[in-house]
Structure 1
Amino acid sequence: MENKKDANSGMADLHAFATGPLPAVERRDRAIDYRTQTAMSHQRPPLPHHVCNGDEMNYANKIGSFSKTLPHNAFGEVDLDAYYSFLRALTTGQREDYEAIPMGGTRKLANPQAAYCYDLVGADCHQMLMPTPPAFSSAWNAAEMAEDYWRALTRDVSFAEYDQHPLIQAAVCDLNRFSDYRGPRAGKDVTSDVLFRGETPGDQTGPFISQFLWKDIPYGSAVIPQRYAAPVADQAFMTTQEEWLHILNGGAPAKQTTFGGEPRYIHNGRDLAEFVHHDFTYQSCLSACLMLLQYGQKALDPANPYLSSHTQGGFVSFGAAHILDFVARSARAALEAAWFQKFLVHRRLRPEAFAGRVHQHVTGRRTYPIHDDLLASEALKEVYNRYGSYFLPMAYPEGSPTHPAYPAGHACIAGAGVTMLKVFFHEDMEIEAPVMASADGSSLEPYTATELTIGGELNKLASNIALGRDTAGVHWRTDGVEGLKLGESVAIHILQDYKESYPEAFSGFTFTSFDGTKLTL
């Protein structure tokens, strides 16, 4: 009996270890109240009013709207019965209506039903607004198309040779002639220093490529050098009427990308386009996160509550586990927001389809409202001289993905992931031992010309990922620029939902937005 009593006393002592500042009932009630109040906060903003550019209503033949994988006539104009079947499915959201869409080939639409998804953290994906993209016939759209042509024509030019290469100079001169080109400028002019770059703080400082796409990636106990398979120069796809129409209808590509030589560092547009061809959703942001974590505490944001603690270090909260989780969890939420805009609001056609309109128009087979700025562009002459057509020379055999252009999914993911990294790491810290790829991409060399910061190189990473898809020919500049901002908005809403959940003495998340504004959540 005495032994039993001792044992029971021991169990009573064990129960005493269930410690904490709140009794179980109060903790449960507070948790439910926090979730409820957080959910209710999303009812307060006014309902958004989404506006498209009007192309779908303005053109009865739907020449300004996404229609890839549906059947088209010989000029690449979509079968209207098929298009209205597509619209019906988007309107009802019902599986049987999707299954009834007539298809033009073997490729499928890329997950349009994801546009209706709900998430339990952050704002609902239908509640975030985007500006209206350029209209089909506008000077703005013409300028974006010309930029895509020049990106394709200069894919094999090394970034290290941009200041002297004749094709780059031709692109600069041509884009300066456009009446509504909205890419970056040095003063009033497009120059080789800013050509094809992004528009965020840090984008135009230092090398074209971010340090986070060049430096080695620490991966657990391994180290991954960022050398990638090298696509052979001078490859272009969808430059003939037959190939273009086959791919537009959803046919499988008859060709594949050819690779050759040793793996190399990203050193030109072709390499960058190939990187964003095969990367997984948040790969680049994950790699950047692993690099930054390797720097240790000195790279953490000054607001991190554990930097001033003498007895604790962050891990589950405000440490590696927290940061890695937020980078990953923001990626799918960003795609949900993108898919809503793509399929249910804008349905913007891809550049490859617009280039087909250019070809039909210039060759006299059809007449379309294409702005004169583009028709007078030197880019069209250069493309025709090289390929004998006016189709956009694509970097990928399959052309663009089978979902609408605006916004770019890569951009939304990069915008969200980079925002998460900026709130946890010290944006003003200088990057240690910066590098740049050699002219042929075979090696890395020290870079010493200017100071590069974590914040600037993260912004540059986001733009490299977003606009690298333009270099492939699958996106427009506004798809990337506005996609980054949408991803940033997704990340902000997630952070706001979590900001009151931490027990630490925490003053809030602070970071510099893509437009240069300092924000504190």
Structure 2
Amino acid sequence: MKEKQFTRTKVNQGKKKNIHVKCKNPCEIGPLTVQERRKKAYHVRQKAAYSQKNRPHADHPCNGDESLFSNKIGNYSKGLPHNHLGEVNLKAYKALIHSLRTGKPGDFESIPLGGVVKFSNPQAAYAFDLVGPDSHHLGIMAPPPFSSSWEASEMAELYWQALTRDVPFTDYNTNPLTVMAASDLSTFSKFKGPKVNQVVTTDTLFRGNTPGDLIGPYISQFLWKDIPFGATTIVQRYRTTVANDDHMTSYEEWLNIQNGLPPAAKNTFDSTPRYIRNSRDLSGWVHKDFTYQGFLAACLILLSFGGAALDRANPYLLSRTQDGFITFGAPHILDLVAKAARTALEAAWFQKFLIHRRLRPEEFGGRVHNHLTGAASYPINTELLSSQAISQVVNKFGTYLLPMAYPEGCPTHPAYPAGHACIAGAAATVLKAFFNESFVIPNPVIVSSDGLSLLPYPESSLTIGGELNKLAANIALGRNAAGVHWRSDGSEGLKLGETVAIGILKDYKATFNENFNGFSLTKFNGTTIKIK
């Protein structure tokens, strides 16, 4: 096709100028020529890359357990071969470290396994992304050391969460176990869960620390309300396991799982689907959810509220002739929720495998059991050893192991930070950027104690911002309720995911044509920021 010359009017600083352009398609219109558009697209990407390249260097502190303990009792080793104490074969552990140090795909194939269970995608720790901060450029604090009072408090909380899985959230104020749990956790010198006047109460028990976590029911509205799903509606009643369906409480079962053998038992499921009413239901939900499922549901619920629920900075709220769609509409928001979720997992996997390699709670439970039975001697903090949680667990199960909600126990990757929490932090941050955090959620509900119905909840005004924070905490702490993560895995994972999402939103800010002044949102620490 022969190129034709046509005239294009270009506006520069308020002045119009006719220019002659050669183009194969004279039907194309717009403010930029093909060449100008290509150049601008390049500079948008270049500027984003340059900005990320010049981020301040993040420190990557660790808790020192790996160098402190020559037998690696403070580090993750599930899936590798272990001795009768559940201590890892050091040759196998060194092979894992060697592969992580070199990053060579072939080295990972040489890691000795103790059974048939494989490691979960350690090479994701090296992946690059094209939007947002690089995973290696982000830092988080070091997790609690093995022997610390902080670690002791987190383990005690996990024992109590296991013991109270079947207590309905609505009964926390009256159930003897939850009353005892709140009292016991209040005695720990370094417990970092929410408190009232420096005391853990049944109203703060097992909750998160972000704005909105302590307001209203334990479960976020976004895990209860019906989900508008295209031409149908999803009612959030889920399959859950029956009461007392706990696993890995025998030593033989525990050791087999640490060596990477498949579980001998399976979950026993309730024949009746239920709304989430207790920690067992919640731990079951986060057992089978896909990456950003909870925040896909939240986004669809939020979109059903209409324009009043959108952030006030949305450029189309005041437009007389246009609505948002591909930009600042449903496809835009849904896309960024999914994008932020995966990028947050990359950041988590870097920290998990290449920095911390923190042991899982089930591994720590084995250390407690062997210490208290006299099979070994470990430097476990005395605050944990004197906790009422310890006596309650051994009286009920006959061992000091941590009762697990999942037959297979934790996934085959290190604990810190929690992948679910990183996803939750990133996805919640994206939704807070696009929606009006102060918007009051209409017709709030609370679950019945049997999980079969939802009842009106008239006691307080639940906002989008608060319920998104609560949703993030539910998903993070729901993994703790199953026994597979620590509190700090969740709290620090939320912050890491938040940082990932802010970086992504910043990069995308330069891609819009609309008059848009930037995203505003409230961070998990309560501060308000604007992303320009």
Same fold by TM-score, threshold 0.5 exceeded?
yes
Which of 408, 418, 442 aligns to 2:452? It is 442
Q: Does 1:23 align with 2:33?
A: yes
> 1:310 is matched by which residue type in structure 2?
R
Which of 149, 155, 163 aligns to 1:153? It is 163
CA distance in structure 1 between the aligned counterparts of 2:208 and 2:341, rounded to whole angstroms = 21
Question: C-alpha displacement at 1:186, in angstroms?
Answer: 1.3
Aligned residues: CA RMSD:
1.2
Q: Does 1:180 align with 2:186?
A: no
Question: C-alpha displacement at 1:230, in angstroms?
Answer: 2.5
> 1:99 is matched by which residue type in structure 2?
E
Q: How does 1:465-504 map to 2 (within 5 A)?
A: 465-504=475-514
CA distance in structure 1 between the aligned counterparts of 2:211 and 2:401, rounded to whole angstroms = 34
For structure 1, the 5+ residue unaligned runs are 1-11
CA distance in structure 2 between the aligned counterparts of 1:100 and 1:182, rounded to whole angstroms = 40
Q: How does 1:268-417 map to 2 (within 5 A)?
A: 268-417=278-427
Question: C-alpha displacement at 1:97, in angstroms?
Answer: 1.1
Asked if the contact 2:240/2:285 (under 8 Å) is kept, the reply is no
Which range is displaced more, 151-160 or 93-102? 93-102
Question: C-alpha displacement at 1:504, in angstroms?
Answer: 0.4
Asked if the contact 2:340/2:423 (under 8 Å) is kept, the reply is yes
The Cα offsets for residues 156-209 of structure 1, whole Å up to 9 and x where unpaired, read as 000000000000011011111111111100121100000000010000000000
Question: C-alpha displacement at 1:133, in angstroms?
Answer: 0.5
Q: How does 1:6-405 map to 2 (within 5 A)?
A: 15-405=25-415
- State the identity as a percent: 59
Asked if the contact 2:307/2:317 (under 8 Å) is kept, the reply is yes
Q: Secondary structure at the match of 1:322?
A: helix
Asked if the contact 2:207/2:473 (under 8 Å) is kept, the reply is yes
Question: C-alpha displacement at 1:46, in angstroms?
Answer: 3.0
> 1:519 is matched by which residue type in structure 2?
I
> 2:210 is matched by which residue type in structure 1?
T
> 2:473 is matched by which residue type in structure 1?
S
Asked if the contact 2:248/2:403 (under 8 Å) is kept, the reply is yes
> 2:482 is matched by which residue type in structure 1?
A
Q: Secondary structure at the match of 2:53?
A: coil
CA distance in structure 2 between the aligned counterparts of 1:464 and 1:48, rounded to whole angstroms = 28
Q: Secondary structure at the match of 2:396?
A: helix
Residue in 2 aligned with 1:8? none
CA distance in structure 1 between the aligned counterparts of 2:219 and 2:59, rounded to whole angstroms = 37
Question: C-alpha displacement at 1:15, in angstroms?
Answer: 4.8
CA distance in structure 1 between the aligned counterparts of 2:270 and 2:140, rounded to whole angstroms = 41
Residue in 2 aligned with 1:3? none
The Cα offsets for residues 345-391 of structure 1, whole Å up to 9 and x where unpaired, read as 00000000001000000011100000000000000000000000000
TM-score, structure 2 normalization: 0.95
Q: Does 1:518 align with 2:528?
A: yes
Residue in 2 aligned with 1:456? 466
CA distance in structure 2 between the aligned counterparts of 1:426 and 1:105, rounded to whole angstroms = 50
> 1:47 is matched by which residue type in structure 2?
H
CA distance in structure 2 between the aligned counterparts of 1:461 and 1:409, rounded to whole angstroms = 15
CA distance in structure 1 between the aligned counterparts of 2:279 and 2:126, rounded to whole angstroms = 35
CA distance in structure 1 between the aligned counterparts of 2:85 and 2:310, rounded to whole angstroms = 55
> 2:168 is matched by which residue type in structure 1?
S
Asked if the contact 2:316/2:323 (under 8 Å) is kept, the reply is yes
CA distance in structure 1 between the aligned counterparts of 2:256 and 2:200, rounded to whole angstroms = 36
Moved over 2 A (4+): 14-17, 45-49
> 2:71 is matched by which residue type in structure 1?
N
CA distance in structure 1 between the aligned counterparts of 2:59 and 2:277, rounded to whole angstroms = 42
Question: C-alpha displacement at 1:89, in angstroms?
Answer: 0.4
TM-score, structure 1 normalization: 0.97
The Cα offsets for residues 231-269 of structure 1, whole Å up to 9 and x where unpaired, read as 100111111110000001111011000012310000000
The Cα offsets for residues 274-297 of structure 1, whole Å up to 9 and x where unpaired, read as 000000000000000000011111
> 2:57 is matched by which residue type in structure 1?
L
Q: Secondary structure at the match of 1:449?
A: coil
CA distance in structure 2 between the aligned counterparts of 1:97 and 1:387, rounded to whole angstroms = 41
> 1:262 is matched by which residue type in structure 2?
T
> 2:334 is matched by which residue type in structure 1?
L
Question: C-alpha displacement at 1:22, in angstroms?
Answer: 1.1
> 1:187 is matched by which residue type in structure 2?
N
The Cα offsets for residues 302-339 of structure 1, whole Å up to 9 and x where unpaired, read as 00000010000000000001000000111110000000
The Cα offsets for residues 477-499 of structure 1, whole Å up to 9 and x where unpaired, read as 00000000000000011011111
CA distance in structure 1 between the aligned counterparts of 2:382 and 2:337, rounded to whole angstroms = 44
Alignment coverage as a number of residue pairs: 510
Q: Secondary structure at the match of 1:436?
A: strand
Residue in 1 aligned with 2:10? none
Q: Secondary structure at the match of 2:233?
A: strand
CA distance in structure 2 between the aligned counterparts of 1:484 and 1:428, rounded to whole angstroms = 21
Question: C-alpha displacement at 1:16, in angstroms?
Answer: 4.7
> 2:161 is matched by which residue type in structure 1?
R
CA distance in structure 2 between the aligned counterparts of 1:375 and 1:147, rounded to whole angstroms = 13
